[in-house]
Copies of this chain bind each other. A is one copy, B any other.
């Protein structure tokens, strides 16, 4: 285990390479030598100054990574040096080493590459947590996924289809919708062709909506949401001011719920990672769920990769390799 690591922190709106000290792992912490890390839209928000890391977290960017355990704290019980792992991080993923509680770490099955490992944590943890813990998606319920071709959208789509929940996606191009349909979406709507209300109503409405858009979408979500339906807001791509119809909210007993994962307590992250090991790992092994990696870049091309994500030209996850 080295004493110094290399990583990227925010300086004047761009990721700036730096060295930082790695402390010895305490209690349930492990040190991971990172081989790959995943990029997330939240990283762009942090670069823009809108999304500081949680109190006490590293100022190094990055929410997920894969690699090998190179040191373990005295209370570590589930992991050992040499394990090939992935980690769901509050910060610190844009680096060659990270120190993290073993609760946030899972051992990768042999069938899952390190590239895929770096690409699955945020997407599947977010999808799992919001579908099953926050929204409480039940058998047979109908699911509307906005930004269906995003990493979270593709993860939620596959989980839902495996459980036989009908899925409608919205996305920004016909190609993205076709791709979602190949992965099991029943129907889709290209947002450049107007609002989605009539199309989703014709499809049969939704019981659960995963919405990273908010803004004007919320009132439209309400119009397509069935009795006792739940809207989970994961992002603000459409802006933060929203008009809602409290009458419809009341009479249809609708729920609108904001959800973030990054600043959840360790206990919640640990519970999600254990749920993924138990429920997702078997599906990844059999191919019933896939990890959609758009492209793997060398870390020297971090700027190029971030620009591509900023311009919304992705279908699945961008991964960086050391």
Contacts and interface: CB of A to CB of B under 8 A. Distances in A.
A135 to B, nearest CB: 11
Interface stretch (A85-93, A183-191, A240-248): A240-248
Nearest to A240: B247
Interface string A216-258: 0010000000000000011110011111111111111111111
Contacts of A255: 255-258
Contacts of A214: 246-247, 249-250
A163 interface: no
Interface residues of A, number: 29
Contacts of A239: 246
B246 A236 contact: yes
A260 interface: yes
A244 to B, nearest CB: 5
Binding site secondary structure of chain A = mixed
A241 B246 contact: yes
A259 interface: yes
Nearest to A264: B253
Contact of A254 (B240, B252, B258): B258
Contact of A253 (B246, B250, B251, B259): B259
A25 interface: no
Contact of A246 (B233, B249, B252, B260): B233
A169 to B, nearest CB: 21
Nearest to A243: B243
Contact of A235 (B235, B243, B250): B250
A172 interface: no
A270 interface: no
Interface of A: 214-215, 218, 233-236, 239-260
